[in-house]
A and B are shown apart, each in its own frame.
Chain A
């Protein structure tokens, strides 16, 4: 049974975090981070070859984390596997006790470290959600019966700061219709913009966890503004962090403030620490979570 589903249904403000499997087989750091997070978050997302960079697989990492008492969200992109492999991995996940699956299309292949690889994209996020739903109904995408049907708690992503926003909202609506039961968003830095997104998103009646990326420096903010789609760090925040003497304290302060500003608007936060996994407890302490 998914603890994440229970927590979201209970109406509690839920916290999830994110871990990237290592590039290689030394899993010690990943397990250390997981232990630090275990008692502080409801579930830990495990990324799937994030940014198209080849790494240890998400499914294996989820399994290892589960062995260590950590509930996971298995992130699955459609970039590297066709529908046969995707459905098979969904079944594999279920038999290993992994129910939370975040269905993504994934970044394009040329953005990663194997730009010569064949991009698959046989399905996309919406198709993957539908495939998982179909498996739950006891048959595969070709209507062939399954010996035992899995049960998932399916998630999807949305970018509240996208420009134009309307096509993203249409896609969000499709994801809900296709079976998404919760959303985790791209990083939020503008509570007012997020609020108007939530006013629209509320109609779908699915829980939304706002994406939180701790701002480490002005350089990082500028990098995201220039390179990351749908993320906009306001100039005032950039100035605030660049003027601070103790950047770490300031970062915690800004992150905690953001979390508390958006707390009344949504169902939880999804903290993507990107290298700061071990500092997530500090962030949550600062935010009073």
Chain B
């Protein structure tokens, strides 16, 4: 699983960096490297782009996993170069951005948009398969998540918009409920589709969620 990110447009970045003339750039060695959005190569081209735009780059680093607690030490090590910048540009997902923001007083600017947690199908092809709803229904849906894979998050079967197994929202995508039907049929478990499911409990998704896993 990777956090899927996409680079912000040059225009948006230009606007959020307008008031900063010197920057320290942080990349990500894990997900953003895999997504080609914040690995070493992208940090290097960002550095060039910033310099061409007349900004000073006081330093850069690619942190192995900017979302973990070790990031604090990487930031401490680079504290001088970070101190001489007017802002920190983070080329990582929003977990990385918020983590960096927690460890520095500097203005922190995201260079990426965080899209979703993606599961890799074919190499380099990611799809969203779980929305962390807090009450997993996969047991009755043949291991296919209707909350995520059906745009309407339907829990009681397909809408009337499914056309030849495709989704009304995007004809290039399979209808989740047709997939679920086919899977359950193969397993001889179609009875599961005849049981009325209660509406989702959205209280389980009230933000922000927290967990303590200390024994």
Contacts and interface: CB of A to CB of B under 8 A. Distances in A.
What is the interface of chain B mostly: helix, strand, loop, or mixed? loop
Contacts of B202: 122
Contacts of B159: 105, 124
B169 A166 contact: no
Interface string A223-251: 00000111000000000000000000000
Interface string A157-188: 11100111011101101100110000000100
A163 B194 CA distance: 18
A126 interface: yes
Interface string B150-189: 0111111111111111001100000001100100000000
Interface string B126-166: 00000000000000000000000001111111111111110
B119 interface: no
A13 interface: no
Interface string B25-59: 00000000000000000000000000000000000
Interface in A145-166: 157-159, 162-164, 166
A167 B178 contact: yes
- 10 pairs of A and B residues whose beta carbons are closest in the complex: A171-B157, A229-B163, A126-B156, A127-B199, A159-B160, A167-B181, A108-B169, A121-B152, A229-B161, A170-B193
Contacts of B18: none
Interface string B187-202: 0001001101011101
Interface residues of B, number: 28
A174 B160 contact: no
A178 B152 CA distance: 19
A83 B199 contact: yes
A169 B105 CA distance: 60
24 contacts: A79-B152, A108-B152, A111-B169, A119-B151, A121-B153, A122-B200, A122-B202, A124-B154, A124-B155, A124-B156, A126-B156, A126-B157, A127-B155, A162-B160, A163-B163, A163-B164, A164-B181, A168-B158, A170-B190, A170-B193, A170-B194, A174-B194, A174-B196, A230-B160
A108 B168 contact: yes
A81 to B, nearest CB: 13
A108 B155 CA distance: 15
Contacts of A168: 157-158, 160
Contacts of B190: 166, 170
Contacts of A170: 157, 190, 193-194
A157 B151 contact: no
A123 interface: yes
A111 B194 contact: no
A140 to B, nearest CB: 13
B15 to A, nearest CB: 20
A107 B199 contact: no
Interface residues of A, number: 36
A111 B168 contact: yes
Contacts of A92: none
Contacts of B151: 108, 110, 119
B193 A167 contact: yes
A105 B154 contact: yes
B5 to A, nearest CB: 21
Given A121-B154, A124-B154, A171-B156, 9 more contacts: A105-B154, A119-B151, A164-B165, A168-B160, A170-B193, A174-B194, A178-B196, A228-B163, A229-B160
